[in-house]
Structure 1
């Protein structure tokens, strides 16, 4: 249902949120079980887990976002340059404009997440009687579609901007080098046959066969 990402199988979009009725969070070990979030509070951390589980669910093709610690990646991003928009132009005037003119909000990504999660949970409580993480899988998918489609209007933050950050960061955490907190044990690289940061793999380019060695991250082999 959502935008595909290069190198990802068809399952690694919300298109994978089809008729599955059982929650992925009920069968997967919580992401970063030994990790204590640095930015997100308990309610926000629960939301992030539930949302990324639907954006990239686990299936017979490969691991999902929870198994690869995508929530850990997102939390670390909130405390880094991205979260603080450290390298972005963040001076006014702030106005509605085409995306081609760049980011237009006065809110940093970490502020967008905090307000977006609160607004989404408030919407879910009003419309469904519970926070997002406690909704059924079909209702969770419906809310994500509404966010993606710009159907929801929030007072404190643009709902579509919030979703776009969440969606992009989920894909990034799934595919990025494990040094950044996600892609645990290089699980997505192993799934797609990506060699990672190996210095030389040109001998295998164009052979149309699986890459025979384990991927290597910038810190070495990911076990």
Structure 2
């Protein structure tokens, strides 16, 4: 009976040391969204029967302990803390926490970091267009997640539906400029994933061609 009890205890210890060896990442979400230029921290811990070896970047670079680095790791009692100072778009992707159990079998947990870039408009607030010509009203939108761009016209923000207007990644093309285009245009950006919405006014001034 004593032998059976000892075997049972050894079997339970085996289960704890092998089947229940795992790594735990916090934040617990598998995908996190964080603002650009902000700091970010995540921890990867294991049980006493596991060893946390390193954090690996989306570029497959093992992060070193360096207090002066923008991206570093800090050794904790049962794991490693990943610290990123000043998040950039280059930090976006899947980060891996690597470790092993007592038998040397590899363990891995992943965390996907998405870096949120607020809506930014690139374009002059006053732009000139030559009468009866084709012109591109420049308004380039930077955002992550990506934004849906719409165009409106006038103080009452009437939606542009005419075939005379074509949207592009760099702005709005007017195929043939008329006097009616001497107006206020609105470049509007919506990020559905975050609910962020902004618009940017552009005053179009018609210039007549000199003969």
Normalised-by-shorter TM-score class = under 0.3
The structure whose residues are more often strand, as a share, is 2
Which structure has the larger Rg?
Answer: 2
Q: Which has the higher helix share?
A: 1
**So what's the TM-score if we normalise by structure 1?**
0.24
* Structure ranking higher on relative contact order (CA contacts 8 Å, 6+ apart): 1
